[in-house]
Amino acid sequence: MEITFWAMFNQMLGLFALLLIGYSMNRLGLLPDHTEEVVSKLVTQLFLPALTIYTFMDQCTVENLRTYGSWVLYGIIFLGASMLLAVLLAKLMAGKNHYLEGIYRYVLAFPNTGGVGTPVVLALFGTAGLFQYQLFQLLNGIATYGWGIVQMIPNPPARKWTDHLKNICNPAFVSTVIGAILGLTGAARFLPPVVPTTLKSIGGAYSVMAMLLVGFVLGDYKVKEMVSGRPFYMVSFLRLLAIPCLYLTVLHLLHAPQMLCVMTCLVYACPCGMNTVVYPAAYGQDTRPGASMILISSALSMVTIPCIYMLL
């Protein structure tokens, strides 16, 4: 048990160290303007898609789908439960503050699996584990852009269905489809060796750049301002402990495979994500609540994730 805890804790400590480096580089002014925009595009449009294509073309086989196909169903059930809980809990916590209610809905429904969960899974289980991880949360990306983002936009304007389709068909989703096709059809075997090698090399930069980006975003704020909001600690408690423990209890009662429990932990015990800052900023809203919850939950997750993982 002790070895398990410290193995996970060391992974979380390494990720948090990258976050602190990104934060420090921003506060010290070591990087030029628009760094956040450039790095964000690299992470979301290059590093993550390359990693996803490589993972799925290597792991998405008919045999693996037969083995782990039921995980998609578990993922859909927990996703629906998370969205329902988010709506109910956000209403109770925000009161008549509709802006905070939308932020809470997003935070409680969609953890930061990309910036925290994916690097941890890669470090502990490699691309085989990452395939299972992404299969479990296959529809989370669609729900994030189809429902989650809307919660943080003040009085969202009426949009055409093509606009929603464009959001859903983001690089992460498209790369999943491409990788799955290459893996299921066996076409990946006929690619020149330089293709998977290059994809693996580019994807290898994802973990480092994602955490540096989180830290750099937080560098726009003072730590004292971000840790002063009491409600944000309650949200972090729900995000990091209450919700994942509820799901793990259900899985335990169903005698689910332990690896499925691990993946559930590494999805729903993740801290709050950067979209709680990015999208409110784009619409001129107060970004401090999102920044506070990112910092508080990211710091606390260094202990909570290893603790939950140890209990498994």
1 band by pLDDT with thresholds 50, 70 and 90: very low
Domains identified in the chain and CATH numbers: 2-311 (1.20.1530.20)
Share of the chain above pLDDT 90, in %: 48
Q: Could you tell me which residue, 141 or 23, shows the higher pLDDT?
A: 23
pTM comes to 0.84
Asked whether the predicted pLDDT for residue 127 surpasses 60, the reply is yes
pLDDT band at 186 (very low <50, low <70, confident <90, very high): very high
Residue 311 has pLDDT above 90, yes or no: no
More confident of the two residues 285 and 254: 254
| pLDDT greater than 70 at residue 114 | yes
The mean pLDDT value for 280-296 works out to 85
The whole-number pLDDT of residue 36 equals 83
The pLDDT value recorded for residue 22 is 92
Residue 153: pLDDT band (50, 70, 90) is: confident
DSSP code per residue over the chain: -HHHHHHHHHHHHHHHHHHHHHHHHHHTT-S-TTHHHHHHHHIIIIIHHHHHHHHHHHH--HHHHHHHHHHHHHHHHHHHHHHHHHHHHHHHHHTT-HHHHHHHHHHHH---IIIIIHHHHHHHHHHHHHHHHHHHTTTHHHHIIIIIGGGGSSSPPP--HHHHHHHHS-HHHHHHHHHHHHHHHSGGGGS-THHHHHHHHHHTTHHHHHHHHHHHHHTTS-HHHHT--HHHHHHHHIIIIIHHHHHHHHHHHTT--HHHHHHHHHHHTS---THHHHHHHHTT---HHHHHHHHHHHHHHHHHHHHHHHH-
For the chain, give the mean pLDDT: 88
Residues 6+ apart with CB under 8 A from 50: 175, 198, 199, 202, 203, 206
Share of the chain above pLDDT 70, in %: 95
- pLDDT tens, 220-251? 888 887 887 788 999 999 999 999 999 999 99
- 130-134, 212-216, 296-300 — which is least confidently predicted? 212-216
pLDDT for the residue 152: 85
Give the pLDDT of residue 108.
95
Among 30-44, 52-66, 159-173, 295-309, whose mean pLDDT is lowest?
Answer: 159-173
